[in-house]
Structure formats: C-alpha cells, structure tokens
Amino acid sequence: MDENKKSDQNENHEENTDQHQIETEDNLKKTTKNFYSPVISPITAAFIGLIGGFFLYQVVGGLLTLVVFGMDFEHAPVNSVRLMTAAGQILFILLPALVLSKVFFEDVGKMIRAKIPDFKELGLFTLGIIVLTPLLQNYLYIQNHLIEQWALNSEFVQQLKSFFDSLNELVEKSYGNLLNAGNVIEGFFVVIVIAVVPAVCEEVMFRGFIQKSFEHKIKPVYAALITSVFFGLYHFNPYGLLPLITLGFYFGFAAYMSNSIVVPIVLHFINNFTAVMMYFIIGNEDLINSAATEDIDLVNSLITFGILLTIFAGVIVMIKRYYLKVRNN
C-alpha cells in the first residue's frame, strides 16, 4: 500500500515537473518570439526607421517650420525656433523609434537597450570621447586644408567645394542662431536643445532601434558601420561627414559593447555640450564652421593627429580588455 502511495506521489511529482518545464519553455518561446521574431524583416524595419525618420523630421518638420515662421526664417524669434527644433526631434525621431520598436519587435526595452551601465564602463567610454573629439577636429583641419589645395589645381574640385561651401553656410547660419545666448537662462535652454534633446532622441533612434534591427541579421560591426553612415548623412554637413560617421561608429561600438543606450546618450551629450560650452566661452566660429581653410600649420596638425590617434587606440584596447575580463569573470 505504501509503495503504491509512493509510486502515485512520484508520478504526480513528475507530472508537475513536466508541466512546469512545459510552461517555462512556452514562456521562453513567447519572450523569444516577441524579440527575436519580428513581424517583418529586421533589415526592412531598420530602413523604415531611417526613411520614416528622415521624412518626418526633415520634410514634415521643414514644412511645419515654414507654416509657423514663413519664408523669413532667419528673423523668426530664436527661442521659438529652439522650441520647434526640440519638439521636432521628440515627435519625429524619438517617438517613431519607440513606436516602431513596439510594433515590429514588441519588447521596446530590449530594442533600445534600456539598461543602466556600470560606472567603470561609462568612465572608459567617456575617456574615449574626450580623446576622440579633438582628434576628429584635428582631422577636419587637415582634410579641409588638403581640399583647399586640391581646389587650386582642379576646376572640378573647385566646383565641388563651392557646392559644399553653400551647404555648410546653411548649417552654420542655422546653428549660429541657435547657439547665441544673451543670459544664463537662455544658455541653459541652448544646452537642452543642442545637447540634451538630440543626444536622447538620435541615440534611441540610431543606436537603439536602427542599429539593433540591423544586428538581428548582420554582424554587429557592419550594423554599427551602416548606421553610422546614415547618421553622418542625416546631418547634412559635407565637410564633417567623415568625422560624423566616425563619431557615430564609436557611439555604435559603445552601445553594442555595453548593451546600454545610456552610454551613447552620455557620449553624444558630452560631444555636443563641449561644443556649446566652447562656443559660449571663446565664441569661436570655427566650432560651427567646418568649411575648408588654408590657414593651418599642417606639420603640427599631423603630429597632433598621430598622437591623439595613438592615445585613442590605447583607450579602445582598454575597453576591450575590460569587457574580456567581465566575460571571463
């Protein structure tokens, strides 16, 4: 009798265990399906984000700006323009990224890498951006000096340079008006519009939704590279295209290694905030003007570039060793 009782208890225990295992597997499948089985191709989802974000922000946002301020945009109230710029980023970049993540992948948190990073990894990546920012600025001096020299000997390069100069002038006027601040409160507003809002909105879209979508189908390094190319093109800065792509690639590297959107947001903020503060302090037009120039010391610029590049490579090695140590532990 006791043996039969034990046998029944064992059978019930096995049935409960099997049932629990089935439920666990079902829950895992649901979670996996939500995140790893999107309703459409992840590549298609990424390009919907790219094209949709561009259309909404540049086209729809541009039309709304014309409706609100008219053709005489340069004489529009600057604080109203700042408010419109911030609202456009939130409505046409951040919000679509969150909505598309929910619609196509369901798990918004995983898609945008919603995770608090470790303080040490954030510090390492911050060290990298501190070196990378002057490195890219130095590269820009060298690149533009060479373009200026080539333009003197080539009519085609001269025509191309004239076209780039006109685009750069538009960018310079736009940012110049937004950066000028008459008091502390207005300066704080500039920091919010130029440093905080773009850092959050653009990183959630580019390093969150778009890069993460690409990572579903292609290698992370290619996902980060493709995303950074579109990130550079998105800013309509012809002379600053390669520095912007490099900056975006570093942000993508940081997002993938840390698996936290907070890291590229902080790096993006530091980069923009530094430019704003330098503009406030020294009022240097070169900080917003990336046009070609011949007024540089090429030898010193090349030496500085080489030193900064070596230091930056050392920081990348430190970051990789840190994550290797984390994995081993």
- Per residue in 101-143, pLDDT tens? 999 998 999 999 999 999 999 999 999 999 999 999 999 989 9
C-beta pairs of 106-111 under 8 Å, 24+ apart in sequence:
106/34, 106/35, 107/31, 107/34, 107/35, 110/35, 110/212, 111/35, 111/208, 111/209, 111/212, 111/213
Measured CA to CA, the distance from residue 40 to residue 172 in angstroms comes to: 40
Over the range 306-327, which residues count as b (16 or more CB within 10 Å of their CB) and which as e? eebeeebeebeeebeebeeeee
pLDDT along the chain (329 residues), means of 10: 51 51 45 58 95 90 83 77 92 96 92 94 96 94 89 88 82 74 88 96 97 95 97 90 96 97 98 89 60 70 95 97 92
Q: How far is CA 186 from CA 14, 47, 198, 267, in A?
A: 69, 37, 18, 23
Question: Tens digit of pLDDT for each residue in 167-211?
Answer: 777 777 767 778 888 888 999 999 999 999 999 999 999 999 999
Structure token pair of residue 90: 């939130």
Question: Environment class of residue 253 by beta-carbon count within 10 Å: exposed (0-12), middle (13-18) or buried (19+)?
Answer: buried
Asked if residue 306 lies in contact with residue 298, where contact means CB atoms within 8 angstroms, the answer is: no
